[in-house]
Structure 1
Amino acid sequence: MKVNIYLETDKQCQARVQRRYGYVIEAVYAGRTETREGFGNSSSTYHQCNLQALIEALSRFRSTCDICIYTRDTFVTSRVLRISDLAADAFKDTKGKDIKNADEWKKAYEVINRLKLKVSSLAGVHSYSQWLQEEMIKRGN
């Protein structure tokens, strides 16, 4: 089974501010496409908010599959591909200090590792970007 996760936030600035986020999980199997979505809010940085949305989406998974993560956050898309390396380094930088958002990276890794998910990612605007933006406004989280 192939699963796509689409992430979106209402703000892309790097500062810690109140943000809304949304995600769509799109699963394609047996010729059918099914979607699930989720929304929330957070007082966080841009990267942290995208990671929180990813963790929430991943928490809905129950079995092994290939996933592709779509988000505008190029930092998250590049780092998620190296999440096993981050875990091998105990989520520490070269100076032995915790990397930024270490707790979020650990939570994402726990699910990815436990379910043995094969992860790929793509950065940029995606097919659900506009819809997620509109839904975040409508829902007013």
Structure 2
Amino acid sequence: MRADDAFLTRIAAVSRRLKSETDRRLRAYGVHAGQQFVLGCLWERDGLTPGQIATRIGVEAPTVTRAVQRMTTSGLVRSDPDERDGRRVRVWLTRKGERLQSVVPGVSRELQEDALSLLSPEERITLNDLLGRVDRALGG
């Protein structure tokens, strides 16, 4: 690995591994990687618009729209026109989506613990701080 691209190569590899492992662990519950963030928003406040969800999780609205379509097909959520503004859509949890609240957060915590298992508590804090600084440097 060349020194001038080591960071980008490493961060991309870790990101791919985390996404793959997240997908593997959540697939048993009918959830794909990334959908846990949509579910998390709806567990906090059901009936959000795709735009509101996108803002809360820091992605573009079309990304959420595609996720919601897939989640609707798999029975995790439903979307209905807003009662006051028919041009807007609101996303609601189904019973299946509600039930996953007892499972998915634990799967995510376990994955996080596994991923950070070789780091001390101090290193975990430092890593989180450093990643936050990298994010801010890129405009986040």
TM surpasses 0.5: no
Greater strand percent: which structure?
Answer: 1
TM score, norm. by length of structure 1: 0.30
* Structure with higher RCO (Cα < 8 A, 6+ apart): 1
Flag the structure with higher helix content. 2
The TM-score normalised by the length of structure 2 is 0.30
